[in-house]
Structure formats: C-alpha cells, structure tokens
Amino acid sequence: MNQTDELDQPLSKGEFRDYVKTVSKIVATKEDLKEGLREMKEEIRTEIIGSNQKVMASNDQVIQKLDKILTELPATTHRLDEHDKEITKLKTRTAKLEVQVGIVN
C-alpha cells in the first residue's frame, strides 16, 4: 500500500484518540488564546502602573522643587528691590562726590 492509499483509510478509535491528543497539544484552542490575551493584558497593566508610579514620583520631586522656588521668590524679589535702592543711592553719592572733587563737570 502506498502512502496516498494509507491516508484514505479510516482510523481506528485508538488512532483517532492519539490523533486528537496530538492535535490538542499542538493547536491552540479558543480558551488558550483567551488565557494568553488575559495574561498579556495583565502584564501590560502591570507595566503601565509601574511606569505611572515612576512618573508620579518624578512629578512629586519636581513639584517640591517648584514649591520651594515659589516660596523663596517673594523674599528674593524683595532683596533685589533693596539692592536696587542701595545701588541708586550709591550712584547718587558717587555722582555728587565726582562733582565735588572735580572729576566730572
């Protein structure tokens, strides 16, 4: 019997069971695919949550720095205003002294 004739012959119950076992091991079922999809979704969800936590932690650090800067800004601005006033006074005194000494006419 050649191979083509052999393939046309009916299978016995035992051969059919063996065939089904082999096919079920090789071929993914609808449930296998659903389970794989669930696992992938869970992995993605876990990765996203981890990434979000890293972003949130980073944002917390940035917000803390920004809060510190914004808290110190009014004091710094006030100090700069005081420096500007002092510079203006010193320029006025220097100009008067230059005139008195005769450096500037």
Distances (CA, A) of 7 to 1, 23, 48: 10, 17, 52
Domain locations in the chain as residue ranges:
11-101
Please write the tens of the pLDDT for every residue from 37-96: 999 999 999 999 999 999 999 999 999 999 999 999 999 999 999 999 999 999 999 999
DSSP assignment letter at 2: -
Cα 24 from Cα 6, distance rounded (Å): 23
Give the global pTM.
0.47
Q: Extract the tokens encoding 103.
A: 């450096």
Token pair for residue 59? 């944002």
Helix (H), strand (E) at residue 101: helix 30-101
